[in-house]
């Protein structure tokens, strides 16, 4: 990653910032291989996983209420919501592979404290 200096030619690809809050790369001026993942995430796959985790959330909610497993249900619901948020970040990265916010949202699902109850429950 390089920084853009005021005395350089901004059209020179060697002076574009590809990652971070000051990024100035877009697909119009930088190849997708310069992005953080070096590819564009699949919109279809991200959408399917959001739908599947949404279905899973509804099933866990129904089973949690039926069998009165409140703690387990809460952990599963928080995990499903966390995954859906993460895949939303991947959709942002599909639209703009250089999106710093999309990356933080997507990667945040792996380090979310919402995952701790799931690990504690044996999964």
Tens of pLDDT along the chain (123 residues)?
A: 444 434 455 555 567 888 888 888 888 888 999 888 899 999 999 999 999 999 999 999 999 999 999 999 998 998 899 899 999 999 999 999 998 889 988 887 666 665 555 555 544
Q: What pLDDT does residue 2 have?
A: 44
Q: What pLDDT does residue 3 have?
A: 44
Q: Where are the domains of the chain?
A: 39-120
Q: What pLDDT does residue 4 have?
A: 46
Element (H, E) at 118: helix 115-120
Quote the pTM value: 0.76
Q: What pLDDT does residue 1 have?
A: 45
DSSP, residue by residue, 26-79: -TTTS-GGGSSSSSPPPHHHHHHHHHHHHHHHHHHHHHHHHHT-HHHHHHHHHH
Q: Are 67 and 105 in contact (CB under 8 A)?
A: no
> The tokens of 69 are what?
């497993």
Q: What pLDDT does residue 11 have?
A: 55
- Nearest CA-CA partner of 19 in 5, 35, 6, 8: 35
Place of tokens 């996983």: 49
């Amino acid at each position: 990653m390089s920084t853009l200096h005021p005395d350089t030619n901004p059209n020179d690809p060697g002076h574009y910032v590809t990652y971070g809050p000051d990024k100035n790369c877009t697909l119009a001026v930088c190849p997708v291989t310069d992005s953080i993942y070096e590819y564009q995430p699949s919109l279809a796959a991200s959408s399917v996983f959001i739908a599947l985790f949404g279905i899973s959330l509804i099933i866990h909610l129904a089973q949690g209420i039926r069998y009165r497993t409140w703690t387990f249900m809460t952990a599963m619901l928080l995990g499903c919501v966390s995954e859906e948020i993460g895949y939303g970040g991947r959709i942002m990265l599909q639209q703009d592979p250089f999106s710093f916010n999309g990356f933080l949202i997507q990667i945040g699902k792996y380090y979310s404290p919402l995952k701790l109850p799931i690990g504690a429950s044996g999964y």
